[in-house]
Amino acid sequence: PLTQETRRERASPPVTMATVMLPPGTTERSCQTNPNSPDPRQYETGKYGRVLHLFQQGNCILNTTFLNGNCNGIQRFGPKAPPFLDYLKDILNRYPDGGHILKELIQNADDGKATKVFFIHDERSYGTEKLWTKDLGKYQGPALYAYNDATFTDKDWEAIQMVGRSVKRDDLNKVGRFGIGFNSVYHITDVPSILSSGHLAMMDPQEKIFGERNGGFWWSLDDAEDQEVLLNMHHQFQPFRDIVSRVCEHGWSKVVMEDQHFNGTIFRFPLRNEASEISDNLYDSDKVVELFDSFIADADLSLLFLKNVTSVSLLHISEDGAVNTRLEVKSSVHTDGVLEPEEESVTEGLTRFKVITSSEDQKETKWLLTTCTMKEGVAEDLDLLTKKLSFLPQVDLAFPCGEKRDCSQSRLSCFLPLPNNESNKTGLPVYVNAFFGLTDNRRHIKWQEEDQRHDEHALWNEMLMKKVFPQAYIKIIQDAIKLAQNSILPVSSVYNLWPDLTQIQHKEKWHALTLDVFHHLFRQNVAILSLAKDERQFISPSEAVFPCNGSTSTNILSAIKRALVSCGENLVTLPASVARAINEAYPNPSTLKHVTPAFLRAILHRTGVDNITKDDKLSLLEYILRDKQYEELEGLHLLPLSDGSFRSFTYREEDTLIWSYFLQVAVDEYKYIYLSKRGKRKKENEKVRDISQHT
């Protein structure tokens, strides 16, 4: 029978002594093992185990004491990680093939503070004789290269080996430095290689090239033996030699022997030409062209929200070495008109102009770009999630100046544009960028839907949009007004910035967020409406006189505008979309002043009509008759006479017959009776004329 004592005996694993070969400087800590580890140092004496003691003897022979992994038949139990290749295949299933791959590489470059990025499609093939190993021969064919001018840090080298775990976790300013998204490159290749800082490395997830349980290998530029290999294995490293000479001033020999350091980063992705354990997705020249085309479609947006990268180029090198530049897109920030927030603001950030130029269509687009970050301490719940998720409570808005883009095309970005599908479109006139919490394939934003009520990333997105987004939108409108007042921005752009509620009426989330923006804006009662008398002057809604509602002819509207402006009234001009926003979202719309027949009559009674032209008088008369309050016409010098002059409406006894007839016959049908100055009637066909004949 198995007693408690025997249980303890069987549970006490035996100790095995062994003398093994391990690298110099190995410690017990670095040799501690677990049965599922792929590390070859952890598999000794035919068993997996944990190193209890380690004794170094000489330079590299170590005497170790192992704790055996299988103890008297007691089997290990517990969760086990899936094989790495299965994990990698799962990533490729979630991360689709296409232009998204290039965006991931640009994002990594931006996080590394690179300023320029090159993608090079090289169709040349290289020799296969002088290679590190013959197994690398099939990767000497056409390849895609990605170059940027930032160098790998020690943390970057560590991160790129830790599949799926980004070093961004500890840095709020990084979107994702070599996280899961980087592995989308395995759609293209089986053996990616990297040259940066002091190393040239190759990665082999299939563990077929550099020995069992070795997923890669690297050469150090400051190691004498490795330098000899890098210089003498001509065929093996010729691809890097050629690309280095193209992207930087120094030749290969100088980089390896003199500098012993490459100031930049080059990725090489040999195109997969046969199915592998990683993927059966084959890549040829046509597929790379499609990859480039997919990126070009979003090229002007790709630089819009990046913090560091200011240029991206797509190059093609043919089999005979001819070089063609398919695309060069650049961005620049204009320092004129840079606006920062007020000191008392709950946010920090700035508004500036960013210009994007593209060689594709020789087009230059000027954007008004606002960045808004919530200050710490303003929203406690947002602060807690900021620290927990390592996200930044920041929202950027970009508006294309000089043109009114189709709002149906405006979409979301997480520093690079998200896929062009309906769920990522907002219907707003601005493009929205933020530190969004995304689905694991980085293609969609998480929202608090029924199955994600407690998802912290979805909660973060909701809070970001409710607390920071309205502040960002108010800032870009108010800063646009300041720029318009200084004649830096057209006044029309200010109103074009306002969301049009009809454009987003079928997008429930963005419709609600837009109303929230308007509520915030109107509660502040700041100067946001352009005066008719001087479009570069702005006043608050409570001070404004709004144009008349309903269908009114252009002639009448123009006459009303001229009359009110000459009287010094604060008449504002605004498009229909802005009027709708005020009607739907202003907290007390009944307190606002609108042009009505009664309002206009009161103004004309007060100021008179002496300086108003004949045509405008007729237009004004037509308008003030609409509410049929004829008794309020008394005293207005707007009664037209047959000789083209006007007299005042009156209740004097000698005019009683004329006044009565005027009310009964003419007014109801908007017709005038033309009178002689002596007040005598004329023939019926001369007395009644349609107003359209005189306007």
- Over residues 168-202, the pLDDT tens digits come to 455 555 554 446 778 999 999 999 999 999 999 99
In the three-class reduction of DSSP (H, G, I as helix; E, B as strand; rest coil), residue 293 is classed as helix
pLDDT band at 402 (very low <50, low <70, confident <90, very high): confident
Weakest-pLDDT range from 68-82, 285-299, 423-437, 605-619:
68-82
For residues 573-583, one letter each, b for 16 or more C-beta atoms within 10 angstroms of the residue's C-beta and e for the rest, the string is: bbeebbeebbe
Q: Which CATH architecture describes the domain 85-296? A: 2-Layer Sandwich (3.30)
Pairwise CA distance, residues 109 & 149, whole Å? 8
Pairwise CA distance, residues 139 & 635, whole Å? 96
Q: What is the DSSP letter of 209?
A: S
> What confidence score (pLDDT) does residue 102 get?
94
Average pLDDT, integer, range 676-683: 38
Task: Please check whether residue 353 is in contact with residue 334, taking contact to mean a CB–CB distance below 8 angstroms.
Answer: yes
> What confidence score (pLDDT) does residue 454 get?
84
Average pLDDT, integer, range 228-245: 96
Question: Among the ranges 14-18, 235-239, 342-346, 372-376, which has the highest mean pLDDT value?
Answer: 235-239
Average pLDDT, integer, range 126-149: 96
Helix residue spans in 452-507 (DSSP H): 456-467, 469-485, 491-496
pLDDT band at 343 (very low <50, low <70, confident <90, very high): low
Average pLDDT, integer, range 295-303: 91
Pairwise CA distance, residues 256 & 157, whole Å? 19
Weakest-pLDDT range from 70-74, 428-432, 602-606, 681-685:
681-685
> What confidence score (pLDDT) does residue 403 get?
64
Residue type, 188: I
Average pLDDT, integer, range 454-469: 94
Q: 411-430: per-residue pLDDT in tens?
A: 999 999 999 999 999 999 99
Task: Please check whether residue 600 is in contact with residue 634, taking contact to mean a CB–CB distance below 8 angstroms.
Answer: no
- Smallest CA-to-CA distance from 191 within 200, 181, 179, 180 is with 200
End-to-end CA distance of the chain: 115
Checking if the pLDDT of 687 tops 50, the result is no
Pairwise CA distance, residues 201 & 10, whole Å? 46
Average pLDDT, integer, range 269-297: 95
Average pLDDT, integer, range 203-219: 91
> What confidence score (pLDDT) does residue 288 get?
96
Average pLDDT, integer, range 295-308: 92
pLDDT band at 404 (very low <50, low <70, confident <90, very high): low
Weakest-pLDDT range from 10-19, 130-139, 217-226, 423-432:
10-19
Checking if the pLDDT of 466 tops 80, the result is yes
Task: Please check whether residue 368 is in contact with residue 401, taking contact to mean a CB–CB distance below 8 angstroms.
Answer: yes
Residue whose tokens read 């590394």: 112
Helix axes 456-467 and 469-485, enclosed angle (nearest 10):
30
Q: 504-519: per-residue pLDDT in tens?
A: 989 999 999 999 999 9
Average pLDDT, integer, range 79-94: 86
> What confidence score (pLDDT) does residue 172 get?
52
- Smallest CA-to-CA distance from 621 within 682, 545, 563 is with 563
> What confidence score (pLDDT) does residue 675 get?
39
- Bridge-based pairing of strands 545-546 and 593-594 is parallel
In the three-class reduction of DSSP (H, G, I as helix; E, B as strand; rest coil), residue 411 is classed as strand
Q: Please provide the DSSP assignment of 16-54 as one string.
A: EEEEEE--TT--HHHH---TT---GGGEETTEEEEEEEE
Residue type, 479: D
Average pLDDT, integer, range 105-133: 96
> What confidence score (pLDDT) does residue 484 get?
94
> What confidence score (pLDDT) does residue 155 get?
92
Checking if the pLDDT of 64 tops 80, the result is no
> What confidence score (pLDDT) does residue 96 get?
79
Average pLDDT, integer, range 336-355: 81
> What confidence score (pLDDT) does residue 547 get?
92
Average pLDDT, integer, range 277-295: 95
Checking if the pLDDT of 66 tops 90, the result is no
Q: How far is CA 624 from CA 69, 383, 636, in A?
A: 98, 57, 11
Residue 244: phi and psi, rounded to 5, are -60, -45
- Smallest CA-to-CA distance from 83 within 170, 260, 207 is with 207
- Based on the number of CB atoms within 10 Å of its own CB, is 32 exposed (0-12), middle (13-18) or buried (19 or more)? middle
Average pLDDT, integer, range 240-254: 92
The overall average pLDDT reported for the chain is 83
Report domain extents, the chain.
4-68, 85-296, 331-472, 481-590, 600-694
Average pLDDT, integer, range 140-151: 98
Strands (E), 525-676: 529-530, 538-539, 545-546, 593-594, 639-640, 646-647, 671-673
Pairwise CA distance, residues 522 & 498, whole Å? 13
Q: 471-530: per-residue pLDDT in tens?
A: 999 999 999 999 999 999 999 999 999 999 999 989 999 999 999 999 999 999 999 999
Helix axes 380-389 and 456-467, enclosed angle (nearest 10):
140
Checking if the pLDDT of 439 tops 90, the result is no
> What confidence score (pLDDT) does residue 551 get?
83
pLDDT band at 541 (very low <50, low <70, confident <90, very high): very high
> What confidence score (pLDDT) does residue 322 get?
96
Checking if the pLDDT of 68 tops 70, the result is no
Weakest-pLDDT range from 15-29, 222-236, 282-296, 321-335:
15-29
Average pLDDT, integer, range 647-676: 52
Q: 146-177: per-residue pLDDT in tens?
A: 999 999 999 999 989 887 555 545 555 555 44
Whole-model pTM? 0.81
In the three-class reduction of DSSP (H, G, I as helix; E, B as strand; rest coil), residue 305 is classed as coil
Residue type, 91: I
> What confidence score (pLDDT) does residue 644 get?
86
pLDDT band at 341 (very low <50, low <70, confident <90, very high): low
Give the list of residues 6+ apart from residue 528 with CB closer than 8 angstroms, or none. 477, 478, 481, 521, 538, 540, 541
Average pLDDT, integer, range 15-22: 47
